[in-house]
Amino acid sequence: MLRIAEDTALMMEQDRDSRDWPPTGQAWTAAILLMLAYTLAFVDRQALALLVQPIKEDLGASDTAMSLLYGLSFTLFYVIVGIPVAWLADRSNRRNIIVVSIFVWSLATAACGIARSYAGLFAARVAVGTGEGGLSPAAHSILSDYFPKERLALAMGVYNMGVYLGGAGALILGGLIAGAVPPSSEISVPILGYMKGWHIIFLALGIPGALLSFAMLLVREPARRASGSRTAEEEGGKEAAAGVGQLFRQLATHGRAYFGIILGFALMIFVGNGTGAWIPAFLERSYGMSISQIGSSYGWMVFFCGTSGALCGGFAGSWLQKRGIPNGNLLAAVVGFTALIPLTIGFPLMPTAALALAGVGGMNFFAGFNFGGGLATLQSLTPNRMRAQVSVIYMLAINLIGSTLGPTSVALVTDLVFADPARLGISISIVCAVASPLALAALLFGMSGLPRKECPA
């Protein structure tokens, strides 16, 4: 009888918890709109990689200079703006921060289309980073208040599908536009005068984001949850915002977990951006593919493999977590990190474009596989009122180490070690041979510091 009473009480508690969360339709509407925002962010980011060659020729820039344009320019203001915006996101309306962020980076992307010099394009890219710095910290925090821990990995996986939808969209759409309007061609545009084809692509990419910023007003700001499934108001009033001292104490208490997980993902992004920034140029230089060919073949590979990987990884993390497997969310990521080691080292060494693209497809699948569980683990480990701040630390790390150093490291090996642009594929393989195993080692180190059940301290 006692056992029956305990089971009944547990079922009643689970039923009450399920009712405490926002309605399922509302939660998934928010997740999909946030995923679309992340998609546009990566369209704007990846378009530059597709256009490396024509921009490099027009501006007279080296591979290293182009890598700084891809990474450092984007990260520079992200670093400065990200921290105060995350602080604000832990204290105010996160939906409104996201709306403003989308609008700002969309205008900045359009501004790339009127840049006539390297300095002008660099400044516009800095502004893109300024806008995008407000998205992910606020989005991660909102999703953790829309979805319980058992479904959070899947929601994070759906959100991170935007990485691959955006990257693929930039390649596919950019390739189609490049087929109609060659990036190096010169076109007369009313009011703006003569412009290169690559200018037109950037101008066109700024329009969808401005429209999406208004659609984001459909997302409701969810109630913040102090602990478990209960909102702060239900537990006796509004939860106080975490101060800097509390944040540092939280980071110190779980220092091994935070350090290892964040460094592991930063190194994974180092590999992802180091390859992603140069794959179009690699395919062109090594196999003689045109921009339109690269946009169609590589773009669809990223679309199908990356998005399916993000979705499968989210399902895997949620499945493991629901079955009570200790740190099941992160265990799914360990599988993906392990698979990335041979794939990232091997694809640049393939003798044909088809085999290289097959390796790129596998790489995108397993990179996407990792995000849902890893981000869900960080959010579950962190108390509510500091989740955006922890997220911005994560975003700063992956942008400083990944977005900035990844593309630049490949360029430096090509320029300084080989002094031969045709050896780009070998440069990519060397960089991955160092960084991919280190990423797995860091993730395992972080996993060893997790409590058996991730929960706010």
Which segments of 213-341 are extended strands (E)?
A: 225-227, 230-231
pLDDT(454) > 80: no
- In this predicted model, what pLDDT tens digit does every residue of 363-394 receive, in sequence order? 999 998 998 888 888 888 888 778 888 888 88
Of 265, 272, 269, the residue nearest 378 (C-alpha) = 265
Asked whether residue 362 carries a pLDDT value surpassing 90, the answer given is yes
For 398-418, what is the mean pLDDT? 86
Q: Could you tell me if residue 272 is inside a domain? A: yes
The answer to whether residue 81 sits within a structural domain is yes
Whether 131 is covered by a domain: the verdict is: yes
- What is the per-residue pLDDT for 234? 45
Instruction: Name the one residue in this structure whose structure tokens are 């990995």.
Output: 153
Q: How confident is the model at residue 12, as a pLDDT?
A: 45
Render pLDDT for 30-49 as a digit per residue (tens, 0 to 9). Answer: 999 999 999 988 887 777 77
CA-closest candidate to residue 385, choices 244, 263, 252: 244
Poorest-confidence range of 229-238, 379-388, 396-405? 229-238
Residues 259-288: tens digit of each pLDDT? 999 999 999 999 998 898 789 889 999 999
Helices and strands counted in the chain (H then E): 20, 4
In this structure, are residues 388 and 137 in contact, taking their beta carbons and an 8 Å threshold? yes
Q: What value does the mean pLDDT take over residues 181-196?
A: 71
Whole-structure pTM over 0.95, yes or no?
no
Cβ pair 310, 371 in contact under 8 A:
yes
Across 239-255, average pLDDT: 76
Q: What's the token pair of residue 238?
A: 């509004």
133 domain-assigned: yes
DSSP 400: I
Number of domains in the chain: 1
pLDDT (0 to 100) of residue 354? 92
In the chain, the amino acid numbered 289 is M
> Would you say residue 164 lies in a domain?
yes
11: in domain:
no
If one compares 287 and 189, the residue with the highest pLDDT of the two is 287
Share of the chain above pLDDT 90, in %: 28
Q: What type of residue is 400?
A: L
% of the chain exceeding 70 in pLDDT? 87
Q: Is it the case that residue 242 has pLDDT exceeding 70?
A: no
The stretch 122-146 carries a mean pLDDT of 87
Find the CATH number of the domain harbouring 322.
Answer: 1.20.1250.20
241 pLDDT tier (thresholds 50, 70, 90)? low
pLDDT at residue 184, rounded to an integer: 66
Q: What is the pLDDT of residue 19?
A: 54
- Domain extent, residue 280, equals 20-223+241-448
What is the residue-averaged pLDDT of the chain? Answer: 82
- Residue 295 belongs to some domain of the structure: yes
233: confidence class by pLDDT, cuts 50, 70, 90: very low
At residue 228, the pLDDT reads 46
Among all chains, which residue has been given the structure tokens 């199908």? 304
Average pLDDT over residues 97-115: 90
Mean pLDDT lowest among 92-96, 406-410, 441-445: 406-410
Tell whether the model's pLDDT for residue 246 goes beyond 90.
no
DSSP class per residue in 86-135: HHHHTTS-HHHHHHHHHHHHHHHHHHHTT--SHHHHHHHHHHHHHHHTTH
Q: Which residues contact 8 (CB under 8 A, 6 or more apart)?
A: none
Task: Indicate the pLDDT class of residue 438, thresholds 50, 70 and 90.
Answer: very high
386 occurs within a structural domain: yes
